[in-house]
């Protein structure tokens, strides 16, 4: 195992998650948010309660939130770490994930911390201060998310959809207690 990403096999439960997530796909919302924020990568839907019973029963840990991420065609999201509150995620590809990479970096970036009511996220100061600038160094790891995957969100990462002509959508589930990558990896591969 690396400590960045673990790919899992599709099963009935993951397919049910995918079917559930697909209903929230919304290209207009993805486009509007991207224009508003200057970041092609956005959260178009977030659910923090009323999780269906089958979802709670099927996940190996209690869900805290699930979100739908969208990224516009031919764009690159900002490098960030969700780490403080969100060390790890279970990501389910929803649409157009045959292109568009998830990148991780081992660069040491100067961080720009954003605190909201909901969460804390760290951006890089350079991308925060220069709206269209994107980090150009080679990622230490990159992969497609074409199957359910446990991803380490406590390491600098981004989505690079530069070569994708389509909007790409991924569902991302975070767990109560903020378990790190190793814990979630063990749960799902035991």
Put residue 74 in one of left, alpha, beta given phi > 0 → left and psi -120 to 50 → alpha.
left
Question: How far apart are CB 113 and Fe ion at their closest, in Å?
Answer: 14
Shortest distance in whole angstroms from residue 82 CB to Fe ion: 4
How near is the Cβ of 166 to Fe ion at its closest, in Å? 20
- Strands in 168-175's sheet, in edge-to-edge order, are 5-7, 149-152, 88-95, 168-175, 63-71, 41-47
Which member of 82, 103, 154, 160 binds Fe ion (CB under 5 A)?
82
Tokens of 128: 């925060």
> For residue 23, what are its two tokens?
């209903």
In the complex with Fe ion, the residue whose CB is nearer, 149 or 153, is: 153
Residue 153 in contact with Fe ion, rule: CB under 5 A:
yes
Segment near Fe ion (CB under 5 A), from 71-79, 90-98, 133-141, 145-153?
145-153
The whole-angstrom separation of Cα 148 and Cα 18 is 9
Question: Residue 16 Cβ, how far from Fe ion at the closest point, in Å?
Answer: 24
Q: Check binding of 75 to Fe ion (CB under 5 A).
A: no
Element containing residue 101 per DSSP (H, E): strand 101-104
Residue 103 within binding range of Fe ion, rule CB under 5 A? no
Which region, left, alpha or beta, applies to residue 178 given φ > 0 means left and ψ of -120 to 50 means alpha? Answer: left
13/64 with CB nearer Fe ion? 64
- Regarding 39 and contact with Fe ion (CB under 5 A), the answer is no
Asked if 160 is part of the footprint of Fe ion (rule: CB under 5 A), the reply reads: no
Applying CB under 5 A, the residues found at the interface with Fe ion are 82, 153
């Amino acid at each position: 195992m690396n400590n960045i990403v673990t790919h899992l096999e599709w099963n009935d439960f993951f397919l049910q998650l995918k079917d559930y997530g697909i209903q929230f796909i919304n290209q207009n919302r993805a486009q509007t948010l991207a224009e508003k924020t200057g970041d092609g990568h956005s959260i178009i839907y977030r659910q923090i309660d009323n999780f269906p019973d089958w979802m709670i029963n099927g996940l190996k840990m209690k869900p805290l939130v699930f979100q739908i991420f969208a990224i516009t065609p031919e764009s690159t999201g900002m490098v960030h770490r969700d780490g403080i509150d969100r060390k790890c995620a279970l990501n389910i590809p929803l649409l157009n994930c045959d292109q568009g990479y998830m990148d991780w970096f081992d660069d040491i970036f100067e961080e720009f911390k954003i605190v909201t009511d909901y969460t804390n996220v760290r951006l890089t100061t350079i991308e925060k201060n220069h709206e269209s600038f994107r980090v150009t160094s080679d990622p230490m790891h990159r992969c497609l998310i074409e199957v359910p995957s446990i991803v380490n969100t406590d390491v600098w990462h981004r989505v690079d959809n530069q070569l994708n002509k389509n909007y790409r959508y991924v569902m991302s589930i975070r767990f109560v207690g903020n378990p790190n990558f190793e814990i979630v990896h063990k749960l799902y591969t035991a």
